[in-house]
Chain A
Amino acid sequence: MGDTSTILIEVFLETIGFWWVIVPTIFLGLIVGGIPGFSAANTIIILMPLTLAMELQTGLIFMVSLYCAARMGAGIPAILVNIPGTAGAAATPLDGYPMTKQGRGQQALAISFVASSLGGLLTTLIALAAMPLLARVGFYMHSVEMIVIMLFGISLIASIAAQDMVKGLIAGFFGLMLGAIGADVVYATPRGTMGFLELYDGVPLIPALVGLFAVSEAFIIIEKRVILTEEGQAAMENPTWSATFEGVRETFKRWAHIVWTSLIGLVIGVIPGAGASIASFVAYQQSRTFSKTPEKYGTGHIEGLIAPEAANNGVTSGTLVPLLVLGIPGGATAAIMLVVMQFHGVSFGPSLFQQEPKVGYGMFMAMAVAYFIMILTILPLSRYMSRVTTVPTIYLAPMIISFTLVGAFVPREYMFDIYLALAFGVIGYIARRTGYHVAAILIGVILGPLLETYFLRALKKSEGDISVLFSSTLGNILWVALIVSLVLPLVFDRNRKKKAMVIQ
């Protein structure tokens, strides 16, 4: 214990000494995270030669800082212009964008920054302390348990559908059907591909995200001179530091909410194959379920913004746990880190912490320091970033369309993906104009294929016996938790209505 503490202090001091790497990397990460298609993973791949040329410690600090900052950066356009930078930030605009339209963009950014940093910092420290225990979570999560976790995320469709149940369900299930496009996972039979070879791998996520959120939004915002409401414009005319501090204060008041939702992110992040998109939807759904004011969600509610932001940053530390302890990368960025570490001859598994403890602990410490420095460096920027909302839409809309459509091209380099993003843009525009929620469609596109994969895996293992879904203890506990989380809001809602009637 004494040795570990000494190593941790040493590593902390060494990492702080790398501020000259961390600070510019944070700004790079914020930019690449904010543009759809330019994920941290892509940027690290592009800069791989540079990373390999660096010393191991410098390279790891660079990658970890970029990863954390990109995760946070994805929330900035989600809040300001309703365009999530990555699928992990797809739940952020649900409450972040309404806040911006009300002229509270500065507060929303401050809330997002503080919730992300605190969520990331807290889960990093927890992961550091509970690494051996957390590493076992991945072992217990089999296909059945994963199905229930996916259903937690998908049940958000029901929450979104609360405004108009039938329309919400149509949007969600239409998304699930679109998500089912592609070759089936067992016999590679092409399904619903309309003859396009480019769809055999399924619907690529970035074009779907770009189309549903960015392109459709650009076509909507041109109706007004600026994206703000009249009150929002008045509020944004004289931005003050007090708005930033108000956001910080409001976030700190909800510290328990940050702890709870970032822990959801941490646990989901530990599971290989799960990720920030699932974590943020699950956290949002759970936050709404147990809220005393669920009706405020979707209207610019602070807790609705804190939940996905804390959760998707909780995922960042979670993905490092299986990577370092088991050598199993929890996501694309972690997989690239694995390659770089292997290039430098670092071994994984429990031996890592015995042979090279500074590398193992150093990655978590780099994450903690990056989050700490991020609060100090980017919080002051919220005042200036929120000015984006005052840019006239005649300039903003074409910029959104051109830079996001080309972002759809980057991951696979298919021109087809640009056309696909445009097609999703048309679907998103029709959906927005006729009262269907684009987030419900996107949840389906993201979670549909994953759900099918785990469902088939479970059925294959049980030779088609559907009762396999209720065959594991952990799975059954999760089923009960799912049912409770769906039923409880109805009970709470009924009690609230009863109380309101008694008061009247």
Chain B
Amino acid sequence: MYRYDEFDENLVRQRARQFRGQVERRLSGELPEEHFKPLRLQNGVYLQLHAYMLRVAIPYGQLDGRKLRGLADIADRYDKRYGHFTTRQNIQFNWIRLEDMPEVLDRLADVGMHAIQTSGNCIRNVTSDPFAGAAADEVEDPRPWCEIIRQWSTFHPEFSHLPRKFKIAVSGGGHDRAAIRVHDIGLDLRRNSDGEIGFEVVCGGGLGRTPHVGVTVRDWISKPELLSYLEAIMRVYNRHGRRDNKYKARIKILVNELGEATFRSLVEEEFAAQNEREKVILPLAEVDRIEAYFAPPAFDAAPAASPTLDEARRLNGDLDRWARHNLRSHKAPGYTSILVSLKPLGAAPGDATSDQMRAMADIADRFAGGDIRVAHEQDLVLTHVRLEDVPAVFAALQTAGLATANGGMITDIIACPGLDYCNLANARSISVANSIQAAFSDPDLEDMIGPLHLNISGCINACGHHHVGHIGILGVDKKGEEFYQVLFGGRADERAAIGEIAGPGLKHEDIAPALKRVVQRYLSLRSSPEETFIDALERLGQAPFREALYAAS
């Protein structure tokens, strides 16, 4: 993985020093909150319901043992011994005192981390496929380009005061596991007709109060031209994006209001107008330097199957079920990637204790070349594990309370912190998630249901990505009472779609029983056990599921 050079190190240290001074001025009264707020937000510091919250950047979700241990140490020393992994592949600490923030930023810098551009109207943390570099179906590892975009966008003076925040995701060209079509810009590595690898460029996607699936503005752009093309998009956005109304300021609104064709022609005009001095062409040597950080490990020559693992699965039903749901195919024979669920029943989705972070770091160092990723589904991933080692990894994860066998299943719920923590939320998310988990806690039932993505947001800002869950749930406030709207048919993959609201909101206590009826309806209507929930929904339409949802009303 990428390691800071002297330039990165200085940049992060300098920023931490600068923020220390700003905090001191705030606490002495020299800086009023009104003036301090934009400064703290630029360093990822929010004031949430109970305390200050610090959002730490995890570029494209990439961690290693050293970084994860560093985060665990911060959780122990300055927070309450846990952290919350987010849908932007970052981590948030919920209880840090402002007076401790400068020290926390120093400690982050010690392990090559920071909180820069995790808030504010700038280009945020670039996200990617958590299986990048390991997935059997990718065209190429997208992480070098995530890193190049990170470096290009960090403190970019022209793009530090955009009309609104801006989110970029990069996928490696296989199945879309990075939700690129619901990002401001989504990039997908692909080959052109000559077999050369470049990018499809998707723009204008997003969730929030006005959800849109992005449109392809360029079928293919070469790697050397990528940054220049991104600059052309950003300039069109900076010039034409609205600044008078923050609810209409995202690029998705601009693309929608101008229309796809007009937006595309503006970008192409801007791109064509760049003179040679303006173009951002990375020297090949620099691309090679960055790519070298992401070189795959030396995989052992191993057979595609492991008799050891097969036998262990035969003898251990828990291992077998976990392996069925949490192992993912790997490009190297004899290897697998492992989705480590952070969704045990009854816990806050995405939370991990400091002990669990250290356990993950140890397991990764011992069995996965130290490589750990954060998934936007709020789970963790061990990318390169030998099939032979899977039983030992499972045992170690079990000991750490990290062996929940629900990867991609209905209890692997994406949920924002909601009203239990968030200052913007209208309703709780975590408790709804827990009630749904309890309703589907029977492993046999969950196995029967198969893959089903369920996403919950506590307000219209959609941090829980409810629009793109196969089933989405949105918390709303109705005269002081929590209600929950249900959406059907969303998806975040290459066939991205925005879910449709089924009807009136339901009370907190009615959500889990209602979803149980919906799932029972799916089980009775599916054409075969192989037909997934989303496939059945797309075949049958919303009507039978809506009818089941409201059956008891």
A and B part of one assembly: no
